[in-house]
Amino acid sequence: MDQSTSNHSDVIIVGAGPTGLMLANILGMYGHSVTVLEARDSLIDYPRGVGLDDESLRTIQTVGLVDEVRPHTTPQHIMRLVNGRGKSILINNPRTDEFGWERKHGFIQPEVDKVLLKGLSRFPSVQVLFGHSADRIEETESSVIAQVTVPDGEGGTSEHHFEAQYLVGCEGGKSPTRKRLGVSFDGKSPSTRWLVVDVNNDPLGTPNVFLGADPKRPYVSIGLPHAVRRWEFMLHDNEPEELATDPKFVNQMLANHVPDPAKLDFIRRRVFTHHARVAGSFRQGRQLIAGDAAHLMPVWMGQGWNSGMRDATNLGWKLSSVLRGMARDNILDTYTDERMDHAKAMVDLSLTFGKIIKITNPLGVAARDSASKILNFFPSVKSYFADMRFKPMPRYTKGVLADPTSFQSGRAAGVLSGKLIPVATANTKASPVGVQFIQPLVHTEELGTVRLDDAIGKWWTLMVLGNDPHDVLPAETIAQLTELQARLVAIVPDTQYAWAQRDMHEETLVLSDVTGRLKKWFDDRPTPMLLLRPDRFVAGACLNQDGPKTIAAVLESMTFIDARTSAPQPAGNSIGI
């Protein structure tokens, strides 16, 4: 970050919360100028979010901060749903690592947010301005202008103007940007209030999460990194906030959980209400919203922080595509198309899970506990909960993608319906288009054994199994991929690595599938050619001969601008990857 303040940038981000900081890291990584405006004087320093998932850690890996973040996490965070007698009725312990990392982590949000902030110092084009309140926004045909109030250090204030091509509001649930856009914020805020208690020097020491479905008073107990413990207790209607924050009352809440509540080292005691809302649109003109500004989630699935990371991951490369002159700004409409439905799904799941925990009616409690006993007798059902397969993974059916059967641009069905033998004999008919690709280990002579993303880079990737892309695609398609700045990759078994290195095109990146997990993925699917987006979602998947049609349809869906046939683009359109 420059020490001097620039009033002109590519993007203004309002709010230095986790979503805004991650979006600034992504844009900075791609070489764009960013101004982050934060009304507070510093980052929030008390614990808030406590769950970090594999998708978020993959994004953190992409921006090069995973080694700094990992010390503030507890991998393989196991969750146990227990009844009023303390007996486990459901265990959530997913062991999958298809995206390169453990599925669930406990984490200390203030420490991770600090890493995201410090990471911005790597980019001279990014500035973070604390104590800067964006009070009024004017949008013109070509820019957004923010009128900002800044304390002058002498008890007064001064006004400054900041201008950018786009503005992204990441200011939280009360987002002025969302209100200014005039979009709806549909959903509900359940009347149930909760007391959250965070303490240092964890007096219990157990490392995982306990959701107490106790009809007398539902609770949560969470062991976190750095010896932090969190409890949450549901408050009854006759317990006002003043009582809930009284030390004696808090100690009564903790009496069944810790031997001596009076000796705890409290970080905070606070009452909060869950919210479940999603904005009607995430974009209007040159202004967009992300994170809590776009959706608010109940805490049960730990998806508030992670959903903000998904927003930044989806939006960052699309803004970069527009700013680099690679795509028209229509591509920004796909941000809402792709993120809204999944945000709604996560809100609905969190609400449902909360209802299960909050049951207080004795008959309802008995029915829930009996049902859990019966379900545990069925291994497939038990693993459905244990492996967290109930969590809706993002699947985009509209956006920057192409249907693998019809080659329709901008839409993709969830199933493969082709009649060719390779499709008819496939192990799965589920389409890989619109879902996130796996991240196993691969090997190259230059890098050694690394995770896939670290080998292929941070932009578009055209991946072919067992073939050189240059040999199976015509020159015109290769030229389009070159304009896209896509990396051309060949995946081969380790036994064929030396041959491929010798015989394939010098610009083809050859990766050895040292674990066999990539081969297994392709074994199950009749799509040996993939076009991967910068966010690692599959935009196109096909047989090799269908590559030109598939790639053309994907480029159309992103409103791709081919510099060879279009007017000259602004200078500096090389992606920093």
Supply 2's token pair. 């420059």
For the four alpha carbons of 364, 366, 367 and 368, in that order, the dihedral sign comes to positive
Q: For residue range 389-406, list pLDDT tens digits in order.
A: 545 577 899 999 999 999
Q: Is the pLDDT score of 568 beyond 50?
A: no
Give, in order, the Cα–Cα distances in Å from 62 to each of 84, 363, 484.
43, 49, 19
- Select the more confidently predicted residue: 217 or 511: 511
Q: What pLDDT does residue 227 have? A: 95
- Select the more confidently predicted residue: 192 or 169: 169
Q: How many CA atoms lie within 13 A of 545 on its CB side?
A: 2
Q: What pLDDT does residue 186 have? A: 86
Q: DSSP letter string over 473-505?
A: S-HHHHHHHHHTTPEEEEEEEGGGHHHHHHHS-
Q: What pLDDT does residue 373 have? A: 52
Q: DSSP letter string over 239-306?
A: --HHHHTSHHHHHHHHTTTSS-GGG-EEEEEEEEE--EEEES-SEETTEEE-GGGTEE--GGGS-HHH
pTM, whole model, 2 decimals? Answer: 0.91
Whole-number CA gyration radius for the chain: 25
What does the alpha-carbon distance between residue 451 and residue 577 come to, in Å, rounded to a whole number? 16
pLDDT band at residue 24 under the 50/70/90 scheme: very high
Q: Which fold has domain 398-557?
A: Glutaredoxin (3.40.30)
Q: Is the pLDDT score of 285 beyond 70?
A: yes
Task: Kindly state the helix (H) or strand (E) to which residue 316 belongs, with its residue range.
Answer: helix 304-323
Domain 193-273: assigned CATH number: 3.30.70
Q: 342 by DSSP, 3-state: which? A: helix
Q: DSSP letter string over 95-124?
A: ---TTSS-SEEEE-HHHHHHHHHHHGGG-T
Q: 570 by DSSP, 3-state: which? A: coil
Cβ distance 27 to 316 under 8 Å? yes
Q: For residue range 230-264, list pLDDT tens digits in order.
A: 999 989 888 888 887 789 999 999 999 999 999 99
476: left (phi over 0), alpha (psi -120 to 50) or beta: alpha
Mean pLDDT of 366-384: 49
Mean pLDDT of 44-72: 93
Domain 8-188+276-352: assigned CATH number: 3.50.50.60
Q: What pLDDT does residue 570 have? A: 44
Q: Is the pLDDT score of 282 beyond 90?
A: yes
Segments making up each domain of the chain, as ranges:
8-188+276-352, 193-273, 398-557
Residue indicated by tokens 């394939």: 504
CB atoms within 10 A of CB 411: 18
Cβ distance 167 to 144 under 8 Å? yes
Identify the bridge partners of residue 284 per DSSP, sorted by sequence position. Answer: 287
Residues in the chain: 577
Q: Please, what is the average pLDDT of the chain?
A: 88
- Select the more confidently predicted residue: 507 or 345: 507
What does the alpha-carbon distance between residue 572 and residue 564 come to, in Å, rounded to a whole number? 16
Residue indicated by tokens 């980019």: 123
355: left (phi over 0), alpha (psi -120 to 50) or beta: alpha
- Select the more confidently predicted residue: 97 or 374: 97
